[in-house]
């Protein structure tokens, strides 16, 4: 689920003063950077390809990003209090999901993607199953080279979606809605299992 009260549209949020000394345009990732999720090599390629774009990272780091952060256009803000995350996202021009291709990612359902969409900024993601559920409102890159090219297009303002459409895509995915869904499942009568003629089981 996503907290739509906290993650309001970017134009309703005050941009974090943590970004005051960081130029524009800005692209960024907010979340844990570990060995299973973020493609640090892809981030480095982005920073090298777009020296005039400022790359903002925030969150706990569990891998070596010293070389990445040595670039003049890469800025790591450290771990943010939850209540500051929306105001940082509001100050970014493109929100990045530079995730790896592995079994963990193929089965994930990231809250981060929904928070990005709720704020309404353009989202650029690598290709994984859950991202495909939002392909009408985010940009998905199948290959690293596509990701690099797509960032340039989004920074230039070439997005097929709008802030309102992005937010609408997660309007029904609040935590309250998730609880209602779970309660419906709890209240539903148990399914009856019968054996079919081949000996396998089918629910009815």
* 27-70 pLDDT per residue, tens: 999 999 999 999 999 999 999 999 999 999 999 999 999 999 99
| Position with higher pLDDT, 159 vs 179 | 159
In whole angstroms, give the CA distance from residue 86 to residue 9. Answer: 9
Spatial CA neighbour of 36 closest among 82, 104, 108: 104
Task: Return the biggest CA–CA distance within the chain.
Answer: 71
> Which residues does residue 94 pair with via DSSP β-bridges, in sequence order?
27
| 201 within some domain | no
CB 96 within 8 A of CB 27: yes
| Position with higher pLDDT, 186 vs 149 | 149
Q: How confident is the model at residue 203 (pLDDT cuts 50, 70, 90)?
A: very low
Q: Which domain holds residue 24?
A: 10-188
Total number of domains constituting the chain: 1
The pLDDT, as a whole number, for residue 189 is 57
CATH code of the domain in which 118 resides: 3.40.50.2000
The pLDDT, as a whole number, for residue 186 is 46
How many residues in the chain? 204
CA distances from 64 to 35, 72, 175 (A): 9, 17, 34
């Amino acid at each position: 689920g996503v907290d739509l009260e906290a993650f309001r549209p970017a134009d309703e949020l005050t941009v974090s003063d943590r970004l005051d000394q960081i130029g524009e345009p800005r692209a960024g990732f907010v979340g844990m950077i570990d060995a299973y999720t973020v493609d640090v090599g892809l981030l480095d390629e982005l920073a090298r390809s777009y020296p005039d774009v400022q790359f903002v990272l925030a969150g706990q780091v569990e891998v070596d990003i010293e070389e990445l952060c040595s670039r003049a256009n890469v800025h790591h803000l450290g771990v943010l209090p939850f209540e500051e995350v929306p105001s940082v996202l509001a100050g970014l021009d493109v929100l990045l999901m530079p995730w790896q291709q592995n079994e963990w990612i193929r089965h994930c359902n990231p809250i981060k993607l929904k928070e990005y969409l709720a704020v309404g900024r353009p989202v650029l993601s690598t290709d994984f199953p859950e991202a495909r559920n939002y392909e009408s409102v985010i940009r998905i890159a199948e290959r690293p080279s596509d990701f690099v090219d797509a960032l340039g297009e989004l920074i230039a303002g070439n997005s097929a979606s709008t802030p309102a459409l992005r937010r609408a895509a997660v309007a029904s995915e609040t935590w309250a809605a998730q609880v209602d869904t779970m309660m419906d499942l709890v209240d539903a009568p148990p399914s009856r299992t019968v054996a079919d003629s081949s000996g396998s089981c089918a629910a009815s």
